[in-house]
């Protein structure tokens, strides 16, 4: 049996997670009610990011999340376009982060909705 493609893995993971729109994410950031978790690579993070976000590249989640990411906060996980964040959110939820949600469309949707960025 062949391995599922990334598109198939993302589609399957999407059935198990919650996604929030950019407008919802902006409102939650304004209210201070969620921690933003950037799962892109450091070179992407260095270009720009959502202010106050925490960097945790997707490949580092299994080893680093338990010691660095709080379980008692709402998490909004994001990447560039919203695919890695779906996979990362699915992984985090499987690790007991029940309050993790993915930013639909990623940081690009955030920018299109007028969300603030820092570099």
Indicate which residues carry an active-site annotation.
79
Whole-number Å distance between alpha carbons of 44 and 40 = 6
Residue 60: both structure tokens together: 């580092």
Mention every residue, 6+ apart, whose C-beta is less than 8 A from residue 104.
Answer: 19, 20, 21, 22, 82
Residue 4: both structure tokens together: 């599922």
Q: Exposed, middle or buried: residue 118 (CB in 10 Å: 0-12, 13-18, 19+)?
A: exposed
4-7 long-range Cβ contacts below 8 angstroms, 24+ apart: 6/83
């Amino acid at each position: 049996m062949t391995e599922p493609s990334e598109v198939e893995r993302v589609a399957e993971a999407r059935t198990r997670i919650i996604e929030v729109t950019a407008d919802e994410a902006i409102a939650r950031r304004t209210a201070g009610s969620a921690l933003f978790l950037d799962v892109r690579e450091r070179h992407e993070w260095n270009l720009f990011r959502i202010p106050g976000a925490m960097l945790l590249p997707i490949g580092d989640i299994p080893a680093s999340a338990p010691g660095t990411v709080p379980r008692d906060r709402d998490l909004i996980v994001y990447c560039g376009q919203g695919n890695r964040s779906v996979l990362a959110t699915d992984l985090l939820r499987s690790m007991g982060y029940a309050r993790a949600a993915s930013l639909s469309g990623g940081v690009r949707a955030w920018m299109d909705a007028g969300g603030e960025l820092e570099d």
